[in-house]
Structure 1
Amino acid sequence: MHALLAHARLMADYNQWINTRLYAAAAELPHDMLTQDRGAFFRSVLGTLNHIMVGDRVWLSRFARHPARHAALESFRRMSAPQRVDVMLHDTLPELTLARHQLDQTIIDWCTELNADALAHPLAYQSLKGVPAVRPMGSLMMHFFNHQTHHRGQVTTLLSQCGVDIGETDLLGLIPQCDEEPV
């Protein structure tokens, strides 16, 4: 399998796995602690979790316009993407958790549909400030997953400051072992 395609699928699985752990850990806190301004860029645990989803929805809306027209992204062709990075899509963790679960499955389904040709194809899009750009789809997808990881690290820190340890977060836990040592 094409290396970048295999990595995209691994990252989609990791995204779902780590979000399940992260949201379960966040659920240990009462709502007022989830929404308390902790001085983070998106202020609170809930604000940062919403930002990750906003970023995902913005990028998935862009990816939905790819000429391959992946079926898993059909709903993103019909909806408008958020226009600001600090939008609160969901005001409570249970609502956000349900939406996150659905979105994570969409990401897995989309990555299952991808092929090497789609990843190599350039994608034209506009930034939220209206600046046009054209970049390789595979590189944009790596940015998509990196953005999630970056902000989940911030949430992990915020949860730790509240006394909540989410446990193992490393991608290494999902990378399969090789059957043989190299020769």
Structure 2
Amino acid sequence: MNDVLPYRAMAHNNAWANHRLLTACLGLSQDEFAAKRTGFFPSLRATLNHILIIDHFYVDAMEGGTLGPAAFADQEPCATVAALKEAQAAVDRRLLNVVEALDAAGLQRIVSVHRGTSIQRERMDRLLLHLFQHQVHHRGQAHAMLSGTSVNPPQLDEFFAVGEAPLRAAEFAELGWSEERVWGELDR
């Protein structure tokens, strides 16, 4: 198995789950989106913005940038779901570009994560796994919050597979993807 393929698949699944969750959130009123809820962060808006700013922080580092703590300057940079969906899609595309450019040696590359007064050095593969776990963790919280609204939360725990269902095919088309892009050469 190609060393990079699991990371590529996780990056695509990450973007797909963000797309599904934020598309569902478009059905919320602004008041529902910002309403106080039980969770680590006090609202869907705060939780989903947290995912976005952490993505900016780590993806910038993976790209060789020095954004560091400046990523946290505005804890809720997107006031609306529409703005958040657009911003999240943009950082998800950046993450996909990072992962799609990797080879086995790139997974072992040391990434400098600027933390203000220090620089953390971490291998790319470990940093990617950390970021994916962070996303899953907070998307789960947002999913639970969404279940307390007028909008049904979307299915997020399915991983796409060869021969995906029509809904996934439509979403992949919306995202400009194909199974071949995610999985590379397919054995059919």
TM-score scaled by structure 2? 0.77
Query: Does the residue aligned with 2:147 lie in a helix, a strand or coil?
Result: helix
The structural deviation recorded for 1:56 is 0.2
Give the partner amino acid of 1:161.
G
The structural deviation recorded for 1:24 is 1.4
What 5-or-longer segments of structure 1 have no aligned partner? 66-76
Partner of residue 141, structure 2: 154
**Distance in 2 of aligned mates of 1:36 and 1:111:** 35
- Count of aligned positions: 166
1:90–1:167 distance in 2 versus 1, CA, 3 Å = closer
**Distance in 2 of aligned mates of 1:64 and 1:179:** 32
The structural deviation recorded for 1:82 is 3.4
- Any residues of structure 2 matched to 1:68-83 within 5 Å, and which? 77=65, 82-83=70-71
The structural deviation recorded for 1:139 is 0.6
- Any residues of structure 2 matched to 1:6-85 within 5 Å, and which? 6-65=5-64, 77=65, 82-84=70-72
1:163–1:85 distance in 2 versus 1, CA, 3 Å = farther
Deviations 1:104-148 (A, max 9, x none): 2222222111111111122232436x3442222111111011111
Is the CA contact (8 Å cut-off) linking 2:46 and 2:76 kept in structure 1? Answer: yes
The structural deviation recorded for 1:40 is 2.0
What 5-or-longer segments of structure 2 have no aligned partner? 164-185
Partner of residue 2, structure 1: 2
Partner of residue 96, structure 1: 84
Give the partner amino acid of 1:139.
R
- RMSD over equivalenced CA pairs, Å: 2.5
Q: What percent of counterpart residues are identical?
A: 28
TM-score scaled by structure 1? 0.79
The structural deviation recorded for 1:157 is 0.3
